[in-house]
Amino acid sequence: DAGVTQSPTHLIKTRGQHVTLRCSPISGHKSVSWYQQVLGQGPQFIFQYYEKEERGRGNFPDRFSARQFPNYSSELNVNALLLGDSALYLCASSFEAGDQETQYFGPGTRLLVL
């Protein structure tokens, strides 16, 4: 069974550009969450989507946006990139959204902003 997949695996951008990261959840999972992990820290929650609707948003500026498609895959968009956006971006999926749901993570996208 395929796990959570993310693309691309690595990305290099310059300040001011925008980026789109993609995530495909485990088959049958309806919820997708996005996390940012900067070097030396634990992941920080960005968004959660469930059944194509935003269920939660972390403390990130409006430059960050996301959406979920009818097939439950998801995109994370970041506009006007800053050097501080350099991080590992992790996508996680769960069957539903709730406090008993285990989230399974993908391999991440490593973004470097120069």
Partner 1 sequence: AQKITQTQPGMFVQEKEAVTLDCTYDTSDPSYGLFWYKQPSSGEMIFLIYQGSYDQQNATEGRYSLNFQKARKSANLVISASQLGDSAMYFCAMIGRNRDDKIIFGKGTRLHILP
- List contacts with partner 1 (CB under 8 A): 33, 35, 40-45, 48, 55-58, 88, 90, 92, 97-108, 110
Q: Residue 52 CB, nearest distance to partner 1 (Å)?
A: 16
Q: Which residue has the tokens 């800053």?
A: 82
Closer of 50 and 78 to partner 1 (Cβ): 50
Closer of 64 and 105 to partner 1 (Cβ): 105
Burial class of residue 30 in the structure, from the number of CB atoms within 10 Å of its CB (0-12 exposed, 13-18 middle, 19+ buried): middle
Q: Residue 12 CB, nearest distance to partner 1 (Å)?
A: 16
Q: Residue 41 CB, nearest distance to partner 1 (Å)?
A: 6
The CA distance from 20 to 11, in Å, is 10
Q: Residue 16 CB, nearest distance to partner 1 (Å)?
A: 26
Tokens of 77: 């968009």
C-alpha torsion 85→80→18→86, nearest 10? -10
Contacts of 27 (CB under 8 A, 6+ apart): 1, 2
